[in-house]
Each structure stands twice: as structure tokens, then as C-alpha cells.
Structure 1
Amino acid sequence: MTAEAVIQEMTSSSLPDWVFPPPGGFTAEDLDHIPDLPAHTELIDGSLVFVSPQASFHTKILDVLVPALRQSAPENLRVRREMSVILAEDQRPEPDLIVVNAEAVRDDDSETFYEAKDVVLAVEVVSPESTTRDRHRKPVLYAEAGIPHFWRVEKDSGKPVAYVYTLDPATRSYALTGAHYESLKLTVPFDIAIDLTEISKF
């Protein structure tokens, strides 16, 4: 069987339609309508990005950050884990963690995404397969969309370090305000005190 015949057979029988992007790429709205799309699929630059299984570091960091942020966040903010954010027509990434305005949250919990204007903080926990996206492409997209605060959490010598950025509204780019190792103590976007060494207890 020729390579062309194999590809034709695969196209007609075994591969879902979303394997082949439409002209111009997918849109943010498409993600809610594509059947059988793998969980946590992101849209970056009009292309679908599939998430690999996460290492335990990723889960443990979120287990530390989520309750700490929920305890610290004021009444007008809500903390959400692994919810996608529409940044533009062809950009719908899924940050590991976001803090959003409470008024963007529906009473029936039916939202499948939030809009960039409702996001106060986006957090990415770096995994080996997502390093380039989390360090480079996603921060650029978040900044261009006007999200005021961004954190990137990585493993350094076996321990977590949180890189904290704030948006320069003049340039629509992030400026690093600090690298935090054992504890994360901030006054923006609200008073926060997180013991990063808590990860060792999980």
C-alpha cells in the first residue's frame, strides 16, 4: 500500500475531523463545539495544543496555591483552576490557575471559559513539555490581552520557585518583580502569604 493510500485510509476511518484544522485555523468558539476533544485542549495561534499527563510537582503546587489564594482573595475575586481564557479569536489557552472578578462567575456554574478582561492573575506551573509555551508564548499572550499579573512556577534544584510579573500598561509586556523561593509574600493583586515549602507535605 502506498503512503498516499495509507493517509487516505486514516483520514476516512480512524482520525477525527479536528485533526485537520480548517483554513485559517480554529477559533476560540470552536473549542465548545468540537466533539470528543481531549480534556484541557488549548488553542494557541489558531492551533490545538494537547496536554500531556502532568507530573506530581504540578499537582502539588496547585494543591498549595489554590487554597492559599482562596483564603487570601477579597470578596470581589474568585479562584479557578484549569479554566480556559479567551484572549483573542484564535487564542484560548488554559492557565493552570486564574483569579477572576466575581461578577464574571455565573450562579449556575455553567461557564466553560472566562474573558481576558475578567482575569486579574494568571498562573502557569511549568512542565517539561510546556516549558517553551509557559516561559515565552503564553506570557506574551496574557500581557497583550491586558491581564495585570502573571506568575510562573518552576522547579529549581528540586524546590519550587515562583517568578512574579506585573504588567506595564504602556508596553503591554510583563516586568519581573521578584523570584520567590520558600515563601511568596505580596501585596498585589491583594495581600498574599504562601508557604511554598508546604509542597513537601504532599
Structure 2
Amino acid sequence: MSAGPIATPPGPWRPDPVRQQRADYTIEDLFKLPDDAPRVELVDGVIQVAPSPTLGHQDIALLLARWLLQHTPDHLRVTQAVGVALTLTTSRQPDVLLRRAGVSTDRSLLLPADVVLAVEVVSPATRRTDRFTKPTEYAAAGIPFYWRIEQDPVHVYAYRLGGRRGPSGERQYELAAESAELIALDEPFEIKLPVAELIG
């Protein structure tokens, strides 16, 4: 019996179950996904299909992106639905992010050094990941700022990379501001964000 590749059954694309079990997918494999592949993230070598966002989630992400577009200085750009290669075997797609303006626009995957701010809007299906897993991964990759936006009611938590180290020596975020009314920050640029502007 030969150990050739497993034939993909007809129908929508899905990850190879053998490779999933071995957790041996890498960032390079993301560039080879077919056009009909769903939105995915790569977590420790395993491809995870991202759950479909709710309308409330999308409203907040779009309203934040619009606000940032109107207020972000020229050296930064607002981006959505683009992945960030955190390690060789992990990539995430923040709901909204700020990237450096000099990054080539033909890229479909960013490096942590390209990203200034990663934002996640918390939904019931992503609650644990957005509150615990992603900030740990973003901080370990050196992304300077992370925002978590809770829904019902809308509340923004803004973090910056601090000097504190975790148990394994990785850097951690520290809370810079949190509010359901106004987020006022000096970094990554001077921000006075009325939280009401994120409520559609």
C-alpha cells in the first residue's frame, strides 16, 4: 500500500485530516489554499475555520475601522481581513488592525513587525480565544498594542506591551485604558474615541 496523498472529496475545501492530526501545517500552506477555502487561522500547525461573525460583531468592527480611517496619522494604515504570521505554525486574522504605511500592498499576510495595533471584537464563539489566547500570542510576537472590544454593552479594553514577563519569559500586555464611554490614549497616536461611535 502506498503512502500517497489523500484524495480530496468533492465539495467545499477542508483541511486534510491526516495533516490536521499531525499538526504539521505551516504558514507556507496558507499561500496554497484554493480560492474557495473559507476564512481560516493557523494555530500550532492546525488549520481552524473561523466562525461566521454576527451582524453586531461586524457593525462594531466596521465602525471602528471607519473611525480609525478618519483619525489615523499618515504613517499608519487601517486593515481588515488580513492574516498576521505570528510564528511559522500560527497565524491570526484580527478583526481590525493598524499596520505601518510602508508595507507593500500586494501582501496577503503580514509579519508582527508590520502591525502596530491588533483589535478583536469578542463574540460568544470566540470569547475565550479573544480574551486569553490571542493577546498572549500577539504579545509574544511583539505587537505593541492590543484592543479587546466586548459587546452587550460595548466596552473597549486597550492594552500596550509592557515590561512584565510571563512564566515562559514572554512579554505581556498591560491595561492602558478601558471604558464604555471614552477611550483616551497617547499611543499609538493621540486617540479620543467616543465608544458610542462603535454602536450602530
TM-score of Structure 1 vs Structure 2, range by shorter chain = 0.7 to 0.9
Q: Is 1:174 matched with 2:177? A: no
Q: Provide the C-alpha distance between the structure 2 equivalents of 1:125 and 1:17, rounded to a whole number of angstroms.
A: 26
Query: Which residue in the other structure is 1:136 paired with?
Result: 132
TM-align CA RMSD: 2.1
Q: Provide the C-alpha distance between the structure 2 equivalents of 1:17 and 1:163, rounded to a whole number of angstroms.
A: 35
Q: Is 1:86 matched with 2:89? A: no
**Equivalent pairs, count:** 187
Letter in 2 for 1:127: S
Q: Judging changes above 3 Å, is the alpha-carbon distance between structure 1 residues 139 and 49 closer, same or farther for their aligned structure 2 residues?
A: same
Instruction: Quote how far apart the aligned CAs of 1:170 are.
Output: 5.2
Q: Judging changes above 3 Å, is the alpha-carbon distance between structure 1 residues 17 and 92 closer, same or farther for their aligned structure 2 residues?
A: same
Q: Any gaps of 5 or more consecutive residues in structure 1?
A: 1-9
Partner secondary structure for residue 90 of structure 2: coil
Pairing partner for 2:141 from 142, 145, 151: 145
Letter in 2 for 1:167: L
Partner secondary structure for residue 159 of structure 1: coil
Letter in 2 for 1:179: E
Percent of aligned positions that are identical? 32
Instruction: Quote how far apart the aligned CAs of 1:87 are.
Output: 0.9
Given that 1:21 and 1:47 are in contact with CA atoms closer than 8 Å, whether structure 2 keeps it comes out as no
Instruction: Quote how far apart the aligned CAs of 1:110 are.
Output: 2.0
The structure carrying a bigger helix percent of its residues is 1
Q: Judging changes above 3 Å, is the alpha-carbon distance between structure 1 residues 134 and 21 closer, same or farther for their aligned structure 2 residues?
A: farther
Q: What's the TM-score once normalised by structure 1's chain length?
A: 0.84
Q: Is 1:190 matched with 2:189? A: yes
Q: Any gaps of 5 or more consecutive residues in structure 2?
A: 1-5, 166-170
Instruction: Quote how far apart the aligned CAs of 1:37 are.
Output: 5.5
Q: What's the TM-score once normalised by structure 2's chain length?
A: 0.85
Partner secondary structure for residue 25 of structure 1: coil
